[in-house]
Amino acid sequence: MLLLVLGTAVFAQKKLNPKIKANSVINYTLTQNGQDAPLVLTFNSLGNPTKFDWNIDGYGSGTFEMTAKALQSGKGTKTNTREPDVITKLPDYQTFACISKDAYNDMLKNQTFEYDGLKYKVALNDSLGFRLKDRDWDVTRVVAVNGKGEIWILNNPDFPLICKTKDNAQGMDLSLISVQ
């Protein structure tokens, strides 16, 4: 009987859903133009603005500032080349490494949302979850309606972190390695 209870507890493990906060460090593999590079984001503050440093080995480092309005209602992500050694202030319609809260809420309510000019829909009956270090993460996978592109989004209404992109229309894919 004890083995049955222990076995059930192992299979009922809660999915990982880390809280993004000041001093969080997020490690990605960034893939662009067929090349992989480690991308490290270090969050200095969340608020207005959310400030985070970025570092890409062999390229450089800098800082992004994302407004509270962008996090709330942004319509797309910044994916073009980052400028090293500068503070990049994202416009109110642009996020980085996350989708906006409004897009996330649309995803939950309507099973669809629009971002970067593309319409995405929730992948129902999804067998392609997101797993890191033998742990399942609490994510929703969405697929572009045109069939070109997928995003795995952390189920966190306060900061809907992009955990992974595949065949991103903007030409840059992210794959989460860790959140500390």
Summarize pLDDT for 132-176 with one digit per residue, the tens: 888 899 999 999 998 789 999 999 999 999 999 999 888 899 999
Write out 40-55 in H/E/C secondary structure. EEEEEECCCCEEEEEE
- What is residue 121's three-state secondary structure? strand
Instruction: Please check the confidence at residue 9 and state whether its pLDDT lies above 70.
Output: no
How many Cα atoms are found within 13 Å in the side-chain-facing hemisphere of 53?
Answer: 10
Whether 16 has a pLDDT exceeding 80, the answer reads: yes
Q: What is the mean pLDDT of residues 101-130?
A: 91
pLDDT exceeds cutoff 90 at 29 = yes
pLDDT score recorded for residue 81: 59
Confidence grade of residue 80 (pLDDT, cut at 50, 70, 90): low
Residue pointed to by tokens 């590079």: 37
Widest pairwise Cα distance in the chain:
61
